[in-house]
Amino acid sequence: MVNCEVIDYLRLACAPSFYKAYQGRRYCVLHYPGEDKDDGEFQREVDRKLECGNFNFDGAVGPYFNFDFARLNIPRVFKNASFNHAFFYHPCDFRYAEFEGNASFFQAVFAQGANFYAAKFRGEAHFQDSEFKVADLEQETKAADFEHATFAEKATFSGSSFSKAVYFDSASFQGDASFASAKFAHSEEGNRSLAVACNYVTFYGDADFSQAFFCHRGSFNQSVFKGDVLFRAALIREPVVFTHAVFEKALLFEGYLPVTEGGPSGPVFEPGSSLDLQYARFEKPEKVVFQDVALRPCWFVNVDARKFLFTNPRWPRPVLALRWVREDLETLRVREVNDYQDSLAVACQRLAVNADENQRYEEASAFRFAALDLRRLGKRLGGLFWRLEWWYWFASGYSERLFRAIAILVCIWLAFGFAYCKADFLQVPVPKNTAEAIRAQTNKPVLVAPFGLRDALQYSAAVMTLQKPEPKPVTSLGDALVLLETVIGPVQAALLVLAVRRRFMHS
């Protein structure tokens, strides 16, 4: 006679004898689903399996699982434990348990909570489609899988250590989720490493990753965060991706807390790490905060950062604009971002607006310069000297480089001064007495000769300032020089004035 009529794939966990019938079906004591189950008899069967080293509890329905290994005088070790489809009526205590081999809790239901505090998983831990009420999952494991899991109340992973990838794809956190001080290592996926996958996850409460350690890539693509998201004093070594994510409240990246009072803060993002916010939606962008962290402009492509709050941000040095722009373009090319040069230009322009509105004028100038330079280089033949954009860049750095504008203006003055030394001008001797000067102009012969260097420089300065100086040139070369300087000089002077205004209008 059949001892248990549970689903076929759960029968390997059955107790050896028939217990009771329920709704016309026969069940063993482990799988009997009725609420009138005898706790003592159920616990005796659990103890028997533990003493035999049988850790298959698939489909077990228990009012209470008492895994008191000390009472049984056996090591608190689960070897290839299996709790698939198990139903825990009461809080389940796996504190300090050790799981050798894989541990499987597929579609398990923890109706009153599960406590895995300080548990150690030597192999992989599988919690796909499991349901938790209150979960304390501070644990040490190689790899863990919580795909499609549901956490009805608070979920705590604080201090957990994952030596391989952990998956939360499509999970639902209906209360607060704490990953504070958790350590996420990695798993190789082709040529890309992964530490934690939280794609398509919904966080209804706060998500706290404070002081968490991301050794490798973290993925939060298309996740929804309805509460605050905190990365306070976290440490990120490789890319963290939030493409198409939705943030309804605050997002905070804050640098390391001082080790000692008054000590320096460190960056959240280490060299080689990055942040990808492409197409993320922020319901309250003014609550997106980056404080005391190192940042790169390419992290803000395809997202509107104009209202983000940057407090003491550490951007690449403005004087190295040519270098960091090139590095950011390469990063976007590797990410396979469409129209990455134009996207970076837009991102820099938005960051410039943000910096201007928050009175970080040096940053604003650097971002404006980068945006204009990217647009110039993005145009066909935009990098060639006969294009107007090239001259605007060369003459004053788009009116963002004050000293360049001064240097070019001085070069124009000197170049035309030396050129005037080669051209012939009307030369009239000038006597000391005015009356004699008048007579000299009418009676004495007119001389034609080039200027000396000092007179040539004075003449160049007068032409540049539109004073129409005398004497007039008598050759076509002189006429061409005067006409050219009359155009170039005032234009460069205007660019200089604009650069001065840009530099000092907010000082």
Among the residue ranges 95-99, 288-292, 330-334, 434-438, the one predicted with the least confidence is: 434-438
pLDDT at position 221, please? 96
Decide the pairing of beta strands 447-449 and 425-427: antiparallel
Could you write out the DSSP letters of every residue in 320-350?
GHHHHHHHHHHHHHHHT-TTHHHHHHHHHHH
**Token pair in block for residue 235:** 């440490």
Q: Give the whole-angstrom CA distance, residue 120 versus residue 106.
A: 18
* CB proximity list for 274: less than 8 A, separation 6 or greater: 238, 239, 240, 296, 298, 299, 331
The model's confidence at residue 380, banded by pLDDT at 50, 70 and 90, is low
Global pTM reads 0.80
Which residue type is seen at 147? Answer: E
448 or 88: whose pLDDT is higher? Answer: 88
pLDDT at 142 over 80: no
What proportion of the chain, given as a percentage, has pLDDT over 70?
86
What proportion of the chain, given as a percentage, has pLDDT over 90?
40
pLDDT at position 208, please? 96
pLDDT at position 369, please? 87
pLDDT at position 103, please? 92
∠ Cα 15 16 21 (to 5°):
70
Q: Looking up tokens 């389940």, which residue turns up?
A: 92
pLDDT at 429 over 60: no
Residue 194 near residue 187, CB atoms below 8 Å: yes
Q: Which residues lie across from 166 on neighbouring strands?
A: 144, 196
**Token pair in block for residue 288:** 């997106």
pLDDT at 260 over 50: no
Average pLDDT of 36-60?
89
Average pLDDT, the chain: 84
